[in-house]
Amino acid sequence: MRQALAISGGPDAVADFSLHHRVAASIEKLRNRLHTELPELGQDVSTWMDAIAPGGEAANYLSDPLMFPIVQLPAWLLQSLTGSADAGFLSDVTYSTVSGYYHVRLMDNIQDGHATVEGKLLPAAGLLEQQFRGVYEKYFSSQHPFWEHFERFWQATSASVEKEALLREMSLDDFREIAADKYAAAKIPMAAAAFHSGHAASLPLWFRFCDELARATQLLDDLLDWQDDLRAERCTYYLSHILGCKEGHESPESYVFREGFFWGLQQLRAQTILIGDLALELNCGDLIHYLDQREATLRLQLIPIQQGLEHYRQLRQILGGS
Amino acid sequence: MASQTNFEGLVHKVLHEPGFWSKLKSDPEGALKAHGFHPTPAQVAALKSLDYNSIRGVAQAFNGPAQGTIC
């Protein structure tokens, strides 16, 4: 997947600057850093980075069209606001983002019960956070307004995990706040790109887009992972709806098959329309292309589910169930 | 046809027991009678036309490993 950006450094630089290349180079740099700084633990962290990627390769996972586009967002912002991008700056920001991603993922897996080896890897959290933060120290002095954004978004991401863990039932307002805050750290590289290019005034609309995309991403995740969430007793907006709306005698699964999944799809569709409208306002060709690609990928995943549910509905009708 | 509880139990079997849905497709009457249901000929014909694989595909999609599409 190539990013159609005007990169300083000529056509060869452009060819080398695909999203996958940028992510793979950052991951490699991070692995090297881990091995150097944490000789005892580095290999384990490196192995874990691949292990948590569904396809077994970290770089592919972070470039996947259904992943939240944490790496792409600052590049899109630069493309839209300046028509070009500084390759060195984007490489640095990608490295920071990749490091920050693994820090958040490490803490999140421990908090939400997905942890396998993460407890043992906890001593690496400090190094990951330092790699995330350190890049920006190169570009912004300690008094620069960028740091207010950094602290606010970084704090919001950490606090959202705790806030979610304390809930037993999630309202729509809770969901909107927690989903946006979970991804708030993605706004840090966006803020960096905007300040670095002198376009900080454009940030509010980009931040709003990021929040709404975060909600769409979380809805999708909750819609597909509801069984896993139920087993692990996690609290999500979708699960709260299921448990609140099912009949007394009915299993959560039966309600999802009968009605709940379609309800979830409706919420997802409304959110998808909203992010599409915002993307048009942002006027970024690559972002719109990404959303089209994301929707097509999603459709391929959701259509068989919808078809199966239609047959299930017929089965219930034939058998005389409600 | 039967109580709501039996109906839910039947639905659970359709979703999670491959042997049961195979039987439901090949011999709907026999499969249902064993669970207290007495289908009409029209129901039996309609049951034979259903795509049980697609229904089970949904159960498997929801039961698979966490999608983990996000941060």
A159-192 confidence digits (pLDDT tens): 998 898 899 999 999 999 999 999 999 999 999 9
CA distance B61 to chain A (A): 8
pLDDT digits (tens, 9 = 90+) for A185-234: 999 999 999 999 999 999 999 999 999 999 999 999 999 999 989 998 88
Best mutation site among A71, A73, A246, A312 for testing chain B: the one with the most B CBs within 10 Å? A312
- How far is A35 from B18, CA to CA, in rounded Å? 48
Domain range enclosing A253: 10-319
Which residues 130-169 of A are in CB contact (within 8 Å) with B? none
Determine, for residues A318 and B51 on separate chains, whether the beta-carbon distance falls below 8 Å: no
Average pLDDT, chain A: 89
Q: Residue A229: how many CA atoms within 13 Å on its side-chain side?
A: 27
Q: Which chain A residue is nearest to residue B39, measuring alpha carbons? A: A319
A140-151 average pLDDT score: 98
**A54 phi/psi in degrees, rounded to 5:** -50, -35
- Residue A312's CATH number: 1.10.600.10
In this prediction, residue A194 carries a pLDDT of 97
* pLDDT bracket for residue B5 (50, 70, 90): low
Under a CB-based contact definition with an 8 Å cutoff, are residues A102 and A49 in contact? yes
Under a CB-based contact definition with an 8 Å cutoff, are residues A25 and A104 in contact? no
Determine, for residues B68 and A186 on separate chains, whether the beta-carbon distance falls below 8 Å: no
In this prediction, residue A321 carries a pLDDT of 57
* pLDDT bracket for residue A17 (50, 70, 90): low
Alpha helices in chain A (DSSP H): 10-15, 19-37, 42-51, 58-62, 72-82, 87-112, 118-121, 125-139, 146-166, 172-182, 187-197, 203-224, 226-231, 237-245, 252-255, 261-282, 285-319
Task: Note whether residue B39 is domain-resident.
Answer: yes
- How far is A8 from A88, CA to CA, in rounded Å? 9
B3 and chain A: CB distance < 8 Å anywhere?
no
B54 and chain A: CB distance < 8 Å anywhere?
yes
Determine, for residues B4 and A315 on separate chains, whether the beta-carbon distance falls below 8 Å: no
Determine, for residues B50 and A183 on separate chains, whether the beta-carbon distance falls below 8 Å: no
Task: Note whether residue A191 is domain-resident.
Answer: yes
A225 in helix, strand or coil?
coil
Q: What angle do CA B52, B54, B57 make, to 5 degrees?
A: 110
- Among partner residues A253, A305, A321, which is closest to B7 by beta-carbon distance? A321
- How far is A33 from A29, CA to CA, in rounded Å? 6
Choose from A77-86, B5-14, B21-30 the range with maximum mean pLDDT. Answer: A77-86
A97-124 per-residue burial string, b: 16 or more CB within 10 A, e: under 16: bbbbbbbbbbbbbbeeebbeebeebeeb
B65 to A72, A229, B61: CA distances (angstroms):
26, 11, 9
**How many C-beta atoms surround the C-beta of residue B64 within 10 A?**
12
Give yes or no for residue A117 having a pLDDT over 80: yes
Residue A236: alpha-carbon gap to chain centroid: 16
Determine, for residues B71 and A185 on separate chains, whether the beta-carbon distance falls below 8 Å: yes
More confidently predicted of B14 and A221? A221
CA distance A1 to chain B (A): 18
Task: Note whether residue A296 is domain-resident.
Answer: yes
Give yes or no for residue A50 having a pLDDT over 80: yes
In this prediction, residue B4 carries a pLDDT of 59
Under a CB-based contact definition with an 8 Å cutoff, are residues A193 and A78 in contact? yes
Strand partners, A85: A7
Task: Note whether residue B71 is domain-resident.
Answer: no
CA distance B19 to chain A (A): 17
B1 and chain A: CB distance < 8 Å anywhere?
yes
- How far is A159 from A295, CA to CA, in rounded Å? 30
Determine, for residues A249 and B4 on separate chains, whether the beta-carbon distance falls below 8 Å: yes
Under a CB-based contact definition with an 8 Å cutoff, are residues A256 and A226 in contact? yes
When divided into structural domains, chain A yields a total of 1
Task: Note whether residue A5 is domain-resident.
Answer: no
B57-70 average pLDDT score: 64
Interface A–B counts its CB contacts (< 8 A) at 110
Structure tokens at A7: 């990169």
Task: Note whether residue A4 is domain-resident.
Answer: no
Under a CB-based contact definition with an 8 Å cutoff, are residues A135 and A93 in contact? yes
Which amino acid makes up residue A305? I
Q: Angle, to 10 degrees, between the axis of helix A87-112 and the axis of helix A187-197?
A: 160
When divided into structural domains, chain B yields a total of 1
Task: Note whether residue A230 is domain-resident.
Answer: yes
Q: Does the interface predicted TM-score (ipTM) exceed 0.85?
A: no
Structure tokens at A253: 């699964």
Under a CB-based contact definition with an 8 Å cutoff, are residues A62 and A98 in contact? yes
Choose among A111, A91, A230: nearest CA to A182. A111
Structure tokens at A35: 């091995």
A284 and chain B: CB distance < 8 Å anywhere?
no
Question: Which residues in chain A have their CB less than 8 angstroms from residue B46's CB?
Answer: 314, 318
Task: Note whether residue A1 is domain-resident.
Answer: no
Domain range enclosing B35: 4-60
Q: Which chain A residue is nearest to residue B63, measuring alpha carbons? A: A227
In this prediction, residue B49 carries a pLDDT of 85
B69 and chain A: CB distance < 8 Å anywhere?
yes
Count, in order, helices (H) and strands (E) of chain B.
5, 0
